[in-house]
Structure 1
Amino acid sequence: MATEGLGSAFTTGGLVGQLAFLLLVLGVMTSRYKSARAFIAVAALIGLCHSILWTGNIVAAFWWGLLMVASLLVLGRRLAENARTRFTVEEEAMLAGVLSALPRSRARHLLDQGFWLSGREGDVLTREEEAVTHLFYLSSGEARVMSHGKRVGTCHAGDLIGEVTVLSGDEASATVILEGPARFWCAPAKVLRPYLAAHEDVRHALEQGFTASLKAKLRASNERIAEAGGVAA
Structure 2
Amino acid sequence: MYDWAGYLGVAIYLGAYICLQLGYIRGSGYRYASLNMVAAICVLVSLSANFNLASAIIQGSWVLISLVGITRVFLQNHRLRFTEEEADLLSHGLPTMPRAMARRFLDTGVWRDARPGVDLTREGEEVAQLHFIRDGLAGVYLGGSKVAEIREGFVGEMNVMEPGPASATVRIEAGARVFSVSGDALRRISRTDSEFRAFLEQNLNAAVKRKLIEANTRMTSKPAAE
- Give the TM-score taking structure 1 as reference length: 0.88
> How do 1:175-214 and structure 2 match up within 5 A?
175-214=169-208
Residue in 1 that maps onto 2:109: 114
Amino acid at match of 2:7: Q
State how many pairs are aligned: 217
Q: Partners in 1 of 2:155 and 2:173 — Cα distance?
A: 14
Give the equivalent residue in structure 1 for 2:7: 18
**How far is 1:56 from its partner?**
0.8
Give the alignment partner of residue 35 of structure 1, picking from 10, 31, 37.
31
Distance 1:40 1:25 in 2: 10
Other-structure match for 1:147: 142
Cα deviation, 1:73-113, whole Å, max 9, x if unaligned, reads 11111111111101000111122232222221221111111
More moved, 116-125 vs 221-230: 221-230
CA distance in 1, matches of 2:138, 2:42: 54
Q: How does 1:29-178 map to 2 (within 5 A)?
A: 29=19, 30-32=24-26, 33-51=29-47, 53-157=48-152, 159-178=153-172
Query: Unmatched 5+ residue regions in structure 2?
Result: none
Work out which of the two has the higher radius of gyration on C-alpha atoms and give 1 or 2.
1
Kindly provide the CA deviation profile for residues 15-47 of structure 1, in whole angstroms up to 9, marking residues without a partner as x. 321211222233231324222222112112212
- Rounded Cα–Cα distance in structure 2 between residues aligned with 1:113 and 1:203: 14
- Counterpart secondary structure, 1:79: helix
1:123-169 per-position Cα deviation (integer Å, ceiling 9, x unaligned): 10011111101011111112111111122222221x11111100101
CA deviation string 1:171-223 (max 9, x = no partner): 11111111111111111011110111211111111112112211211121122
* Cross-structure match for 1:5: none
Give unmatched runs, 5+ long, in structure 1.
Answer: 1-11
| Contact 2:6–2:43 (8 Å) recurs in 1 | yes
Instruction: Tell me which amino acid in the other structure corresponds to 2:37.
Output: A
Q: TM (normalized to structure 2)?
A: 0.90
Aligned-residue CA RMSD (Å): 1.5
